[in-house]
A and B are shown apart, each in its own frame.
Chain A
Amino acid sequence: EVQLVESGGGLVQPGGSLRLSCAGSGFTFSTYWLSWVRQAPGKGLEWVANINQYGSEIYYVDSVKGRFTISRDNAKNSLYMQMNSLRVDDTAVYYCARDFGSGSYKYWGQGTLVTVSS
C-alpha cells in the first residue's frame, strides 16, 4: 500500500524557518516525481513545488521562489521542504503528493499544518 506521511509542521514566527519531511513507503520511491501542495485555511489548493526522481529538475510557484527549497533523499525514501523567511500567508496545510502516470496526483499524505504568526 502506498503511504506518504508528512511531519515537521508547527507554529513559527514571521521571518522564521521550518523544515517539512515526507516519508514514502509501499512503492519504489526513487522512480517517481514528488510534489508539495498547500491549502490555506478555508481556501483552495495551491501547487508549491515538485522534484524529479534524481533531484536534478525542480520547479516552484513564484510566491516561494528564493525562500523554499525542495529536496529528496532516495536512500531514506524521504522528501523535504526547507522553508525560510516565512510569511503569514504561508500558513497552510502542506501535503506531499506522488505523481500518477504523467503528473496527476493519486497518492497524498495526510498533510501537516504550518502556522506563521507572531
Chain B
Amino acid sequence: EIVLTQSPGTLSLSPGERATLSCRASQSVSSNYLAWYQQKPGQAPRLLIYGASSRAPGIADRFSGGGSGTDFTLTISRLEPEDFAMYYCQQYASSPRTFGQGTKLEIK
C-alpha cells in the first residue's frame, strides 16, 4: 500500500498570496498517477489536478500541480477567498487507491 503524507497539516495565508502544498509518497507513484482534490464543508470533493500536473476541466489556471516519483506539489498562485478549504492528494497507480490525510488552507 502506498502511504501519502501531506504537509503542512494547516497552512495560514492571506488572499492574494501564493500557496504551496506538498504530498510525499512512501514509494514511487507510477505514471505519475497522482490527483489533487479540494473539499469544502458539507460538499463532495472536487477534482483539481490529475496525472500530477493536468488541470481538470473547468479548474482555474491559478491551480497547478507538479512533481514526480515520490514528491508532488499543488500550487495556488494567487489565493482567492473561495480557495480556503481542505485539500487532499490521492494516488491511483495501485490499489488500494490511497488518499493523503489532507491540508487545511485557512485565512490568516
Contacts and interface: CB of A to CB of B under 8 A. Distances in A.
Interface of A: 35, 37, 44-47, 50, 59-62, 95, 100-106, 108-111
Interface centre among A59, A100, A106, A110 (most CB of B within 10 A): A106
Given A109-B44, A110-B44, A111-B44, A104 B99 contact: no
Tell me if A's interface is mostly helix, strand, loop or mixed. Answer: strand
A101 B97 contact: no
A108 B95 contact: no
Interface residues of B, number: 25
Contacts of B33: 102-104
B47 A60 contact: no
A100 B47 contact: yes
A44 B92 contact: no
A45 B97 contact: no
Nearest to B93: A103
